[in-house]
Structure 1
């Protein structure tokens, strides 16, 4: 399927002269001999919340992993704040201020909640990241469970911890993969409030989400993937008119 027409950059951002927080051009990615991504193009401006929609297997998680250099071969261009990263190692990409929260969370089960929070090093020379006190203010549940081992946390608490751990690093560009999956509605609401608060603080967020109802009120823009390609892109203001297309592509 052909790529959608490129979008115009909002005037206030275009006039600033600053490059996008993330710019992906003609990205292709492989796992071994399996060609997963086919000329993916997307752009995210600083301070935006952008959601990648699509059915399972569409290539959304692979896109996130490719941004971090966690796939096999990559071709094309991935620029973070104007810096080309396609040839960089994962740790060097992270030090450009990226934080990746994978679907599997990666909590250290033998460490307490607070030890998990203290573990990550800073990835930014200019931003020290959120303090423990700020994390506990955002996630009171974590303060209550700060001495509990990772294995004793609920699924929702583990998800909070996985996101909070990234915020400790000073990363300002966050890649969040299915953070609402399988969680109770009250926890999903907490995560939604978190995203809105981070947006107010100027964070740039890219979300992969299957939960359309969770993503819809949070995102500024949407990209829809199918068969490793971007097949649709639109702004939040176009959401209602795009619903027939989304029903076809996603079955929402």
Structure 2
């Protein structure tokens, strides 16, 4: 196993080395290499089908097969089942949100198991998401798309996860909701959370992220720091244009 996995940098919370992943016979990831430091917001950018969402799923073992190395807080997790990885403090918000539509907001919040002792209380979540407090007795199916997305994020904050994998959280939402979600990401970063954000909306992601990984054909094609965005605009446009 590479020394980078066994001896991570002091602030490194996630490292992925030579990650390959498959869905059945389809080989989707072709050697992903990336690292995320504690307290960072890092985005995975790229065209649809490039492997961004699969990278998040592969971290948690939610793919058909995977090879390579993944470490969380210096601990190898490639051979662990999904529930064990969650207990290390990894939270995943899928693109389809995954809330319980027949349960109320509050029932959704108290149902997930708390995997670590430092999860947010329901009161803290309502302070961060006032809309959810107003709708706390409403069924998940009665919520707007933006409220459902807020609830999906809030559920993983209850568990005690501090490494958050968020997949396309702004897709299809009104601009006012997108702005509210940006405020939430900023507040979570201030509280010390580490966030890996798959995002199609670059205008949303750019002011929030410390670094951007561009994924193309299941590989990292570029890594661009926040302070390098201006000089890499044309390069990014080439990567992200349809």
User: What is the TM-score when the length of structure 2 is the normalising length?
Assistant: 0.95
Give the secondary structure class of the aligned counterpart of 2:159. Answer: coil
Match of 1:11 in 2: none
Q: 1:200 to 1:19 in 2, by over 3 A?
A: closer
Match of 1:159 in 2: 149
Distance 2:158 2:49 in 1: 31
Distance 2:39 2:57 in 1: 21
Match of 2:194 in 1: 204
Deviations, residues 42-66 of structure 1 (Å, cap 9, x unaligned) = 0000000000000000000000000
Candidates 32, 41, 50, aligned match of 2:33: 41
Structure 2 unmatched runs, 5+: 1-6
Match of 1:101 in 2: 93
State how many pairs are aligned.
236
Distance 1:45 1:193 in 2: 21
Q: 1:31 to 1:134 in 2, by over 3 A?
A: same
User: Residues 95-134 of structure 1 correspond to what in structure 2 (within 5 A)?
Assistant: 95-124=87-116, 127-134=117-124
Deviations, residues 15-58 of structure 1 (Å, cap 9, x unaligned) = x9626100000000011111000010000000000000000000
Match of 1:5 in 2: none
User: Residues 59-70 of structure 1 correspond to what in structure 2 (within 5 A)?
Assistant: 59-70=51-62
User: What is the TM-score when the length of structure 1 is the normalising length?
Assistant: 0.91
Give the secondary structure class of the aligned counterpart of 1:62. Answer: helix
Candidates 117, 128, 143, aligned match of 2:133: 143
Asked if 1:91 is matched to 2:83, the reply is yes
